[in-house]
Structure 1
Amino acid sequence: MTSPRETLQNLAKIGKLKAEPPDQAEFDGLLRSARNRLPDAQNPGLNAESRFSLAYDAAHSLALAALRWHGYRSENRHIVFQILGSTVSLPAAKWRFLDNCHQKRNRALYDGDYEEDEPLIRELIAVAKELQAAVEALGPVEA
């Protein structure tokens, strides 16, 4: 079985990821971005589309922070969700849910196809909070 580290290295070998030294300031900024967006996503005074967007952006910032903590970057937004099993040991059902939210986000953003879905927003916020805890548990970036 391939270790999480080997998975990231293999993805870099085939050009899906790019090795780049982690940066504490960047990591902290991504965490701060998520911490600012998650409470706003829970604001019932905002419309559902805005809350979905805020929750999705928070989750994406957290997933990117996890990837950067490991010393990698990606040109593709969606891959940061697909490798959460390797970066923070997020269960497959949860990273697949986030990947599905990425597809919904793209349809809303590029096709104007957004359907209000309160249960989806609640689940997205819950998964983002779980992801936040996992990313924060990584600790400081190692130099």
Structure 2
Amino acid sequence: MSRPELENLVRIGQLKAEPRNTLEAARMLDMARTRLADAKLSKLSLEGRFTSAYNAAHAAALAALRWHGYRSENRYTVFQCLTHTLGWPPSRWRVFDAAHQKRNLAEYEGYLDVEESTVAEMCELVAQLVNDVQALINK
């Protein structure tokens, strides 16, 4: 993988290098699966489903980062690193970036404008992310 890019993020303080923790990565991936299942529950509010899908994406992306031996306290960086941890093109991880911006509006300003199609797209992409991270862990 693109270790030099991840090491550059360590140098500028965006990531912390830590030993690979496969058990932690697996637990985070399990959490992502649970939250993804919650996001698909039609009895939940649309906002609740969006939040669950977003949290599933973050947990899975963080699992990939932890498997590579890094950690970040910045959610955006965790998504951005999917390019380096899984080889995802920006067109894929930027869907999570857009969700991150919506999540921040909800968390910090109390405003969330989300549509059913957004949640459906996120659920589909999170399922792909979970599969990709599982393949990484299984290597």
TM over 0.5: yes
Aligned pair count reads 139
Deviation (angstroms), 1:139: 2.1
Q: Give the aligned partner of residue 20 of structure 2.
A: 22
Match of 2:75 among 74, 77, 83: 77
Q: Match of 1:114?
A: 112
Q: % of aligned pairs identical?
A: 47
Give structure 2 stretches of 5+ with no counterpart: none
2:132 counterpart of 1:129: no
Cα distance in structure 1, aligned partners of 2:11 and 2:57: 26
Report the equivalent of 2:48: 50
Unaligned 5+ residue runs, structure 1?
none
Which amino acid in 1 is paired with 2:82?
Answer: L
- For the 8 Å contact 1:81–1:95, the answer to whether it is kept is yes
Structure 1 segments, 4+ long, off by >2 Å, are none
Q: State the TM-score, normalized to the length of structure 1.
A: 0.92
Query: Counterpart of 1:138 in 2: which secondary structure?
Result: helix
Cα distance in structure 2, aligned partners of 1:139 and 1:119: 30
- 1:139 — aligned with what? 137
CA RMSD, aligned part only? Answer: 1.3
CA distance in 2, matches of 1:139, 1:83: 16
1:140 shift after superposition: 4.7
1:25 Cα offset (Å): 2.1
